[in-house]
Amino acid sequence: MKWWFGVTLWKRVLGALILGIVFGLVIQYTLGDRAVDWLGTYVQPYGDIFIALIRMMIVPLIFTTLVAGVVAMREPARLGSLGLKTIGLYLVTTFFANVIGLVYGTVFRPGANAAEALAGATPEAISQEAPSVWDRILEIIQNPAAAMAEANILAIIFFALLFGVGILMAGEKGQAAGSFFESASEAVLKVTAIVMEFAPFGVFALIAYATAAYGIEAFQSIFWLILTVYLGLFTHVILVYGGLIKVILRLPAIRFFRGIFDAQAVAFSTASSSATLPVTITNATRNLGVKRSVSGSVLPLGATINMDGTALYLGILALFTAQAFGIELSFANYVMIAVTAAVVSIGAAGIPSASLFLLATVLSTFGATPEQIALVVGFILPVDRIMDMARTVVNVTGDAAVAVTVAKSEDQLDEEVFRSPSTI
C-alpha cells in the first residue's frame, strides 16, 4: 500500500471523482432503471459513512481549535479586529458574487426560452417565512451541550469564544485549561487527517450515485441555466478569490487552489459546507499555513455566513424567473434582487438545496406570484443538487481565501508552508 499513500491525497480524490463519474454513467447505461437502486444498495453506503465520519469531526474540531486559537492570541482584544476583518471580507466577496450573478443572468438570459418547459413542471410550494432577528440571536445563545448535540455552529462558536476569553482572563489558573485545548486541537486535527484517508472512497461513492441518479437526460431542459450558473461560479472563483490571493496578497494562486482541492472535492460530492468544514480547516492549517488562531474562528464563521455561491445563484434564478414569465425589471428591481440575495444568503443552512428555500423571498421583490415561484422551484428542484455541488465549492473556496487574507493581515500566515510544494 506504499504506492497508495505515496500519492498526495488531492490527486487520489481527483482520481476518485473522475472514476466515480465514469462508473456512474457505465452503471446507468448497463442497468438502466435499476442503476440507482443498485448503487444505493452497494455503493452509496460508503459515501454515507464518509459523510458521517466528517460530520462526527465538526463539533470537536470547531470547539477545540477555536478555544486554542483564542488562547494563542494572548489578548482578547485581538478578537475584535479579526472579527471585523472577517465579516468585512465576507461582505465584499458577496457583493462581487451578486454583481457577477446579475451580469451573467442578463447576458446569457437562461430563462428566455424556458416558458414551455416551466409549463410542464410540477409546482413545489415553499415557505416564505423567515425567522426573526431575535430568534436567530436566541439560537446562538443556548445551552452548550444542546448546541453541540444539534451541531449548531454559531452557538458553538459563541460559547468557544467566551470560554477562550475566560481562560485568558483566568491568568495563571487558566493555563492548564489552555494547554489542554492546545493539545486537544492537535489530536483532533490528527484524527481528521485519518478520516480524510477515506475521502477517495467516499467521494467515488457519492459521485457515482449522483451521476446515475441525474444522468445526462436531466440536463436537457435546464441546460442553459446550469451552464450560466457554472460559468458565473467559475468566474467568481478565478477573478475574486484568485485575484484576492494573487493581486492583493501577492501569493501564488495555483498553490492556493491546489492546497484546498481536498476540501473542494468533498464540498462538490457532499454539497454541504458544514460537512466539509473539518476538511477545510485541515487544508487551511496544513497546506496553506493558516495558524489555528485564525482557521479555527474564520472558517467556522464562514461555513455559516459566507454563502457567495448562494448569493450568485439566487441572482441568476431571479433573472431566470423574470425572463421565463416575461416580467420586465427596472434598475431598482436589480438593486433589490442583489440586496435581498445577499441578505438571505447570510446564515443560510450549510446543507444541500438550502438556497431554494430562500428563493421565495428574492422573487417576491419584483412581484412574482406564489404560483410562479412554485413552478420555478418545481422545475429546478430535481436537478438543483447538480448546481448546489458547484455552489458549495465556491462557498468553501471563499472561506479559505478569506482565512488566508485575514491570517496574512494578522501575521498569522506561515508563507513558507503556503509556498511549499511538499505539503500539497
The C-alpha cell 460537512 sits at: 275
Lowest mean pLDDT, pick from 1-10, 121-130, 265-274: 121-130
- For residue 297, pLDDT over 90 is answered with no
Specify the pLDDT at position 399: 93
Compute φ and ψ for 77, nearest 5 degrees.
-65, -25
The pTM (predicted TM-score) of the whole model is 0.80
Contacts of 52 (CB under 8 A, 6+ apart): none
- For residue 125, pLDDT over 60 is answered with no
Each as own residue / partner, the long-range contacts of residues 368-371 (CB below 8 Å, 24 or more positions apart, any chain) are 368/321, 368/322, 368/325, 368/327, 370/125, 371/123
- For residue 249, pLDDT over 80 is answered with yes
Residues 22-58 have pLDDT tens digits of 898 899 888 887 888 898 888 889 888 888 888 888 7
pLDDT band at 192 (very low <50, low <70, confident <90, very high): confident
Contacts of 119 (CB under 8 A, 6+ apart): none
Specify the pLDDT at position 403: 93
The three three-digit cell numbers of residue 249, written as one number? 496578497
Average the pLDDT over 127-145 and give the result: 65
Catalogue all structural domains in the chain, each as residue range(s) with its CATH number: 2-423 (1.10.3860.10)
What's the Cα-to-Cα distance from 264 to each of 119, 202, 257, 291, rounded to whole Å?
36, 14, 9, 20
The closest alpha carbon to 305, from 337, 242, 353, 349, belongs to 349
Residues 142-176 have pLDDT tens digits of 777 777 777 677 777 788 888 888 888 888 888 88
Specify the pLDDT at position 238: 95
pLDDT band at 252 (very low <50, low <70, confident <90, very high): very high
Residue-wise over 229-264: b if at least 16 C-beta within 10 A, else e? Answer: beebbebbbeebbbebbeeebebebebbbbbbbbbb
Name the amino acid, one letter, at 401: A
Confirm if 193 and 276 have CB atoms less than 8 A apart.
no
Name the amino acid, one letter, at 410: E
Most confident region among 164-168, 229-233, 279-283 by mean pLDDT: 229-233
Confirm if 392 and 399 have CB atoms less than 8 A apart.
no
Residues 97-109 have pLDDT tens digits of 989 999 999 998 8
What's the Cα-to-Cα distance from 330 to each of 278, 336, 337, rounded to whole Å?
43, 10, 11
